[in-house]
Amino acid sequence: QSVLTQPPSASGTPGQRVTISCSGSSSNIGSNTVNWYQQLPGTAPKVLIYSNNQRPSGVPDRFSGSKSGTSASLAISGLQSEDEADYYCTAWDDSLNGWVFGGGTKLTVL
């Protein structure tokens, strides 16, 4: 059972906009920033969004992040087939004194 809650799956057709939610509590998302990671099949995760809504260089602006209270969201617009991957949210938890992950969301491009 993950500390952060994500839907196990999401899907969309090419060109669509999809959002993935991440729900936490006051000790993690409510107190600290959220980072999102993309894991393509058979590869290591890579950072997609950090500090709630910042994109590292090289990440397309089709990806965006937001946070409100104890929840965060990742939005992907103009969905492409290469976006098919697993997506994870994470935040520092002040009570556990460590990083906590969401269970991951498998995105399928139909």
The residue (of 43 and 68) whose beta carbon lies closer to other proteins is: 43
Angle CA 83–106–102, to nearest 5? 115
- In the complex, the residues that contact other proteins under the rule CB under 8 A are 2, 32-33, 35, 37, 43-47, 50-51, 56, 88, 90, 92, 96-104
The residue (of 15 and 56) whose beta carbon lies closer to other proteins is: 56
Q: How far apart are CA 32 and CA 22, in angstroms?
A: 13
Question: Of the candidates 90, 85, 75, which has an alpha carbon nearest to the alpha carbon of residue 105?
Answer: 85
Q: How far apart are CA 65 and CA 13, in angstroms?
A: 20
The residue (of 13 and 43) whose beta carbon lies closer to other proteins is: 43
- We find the least distance from the C-beta atom of residue 36 to other proteins, in angstroms, to be 9
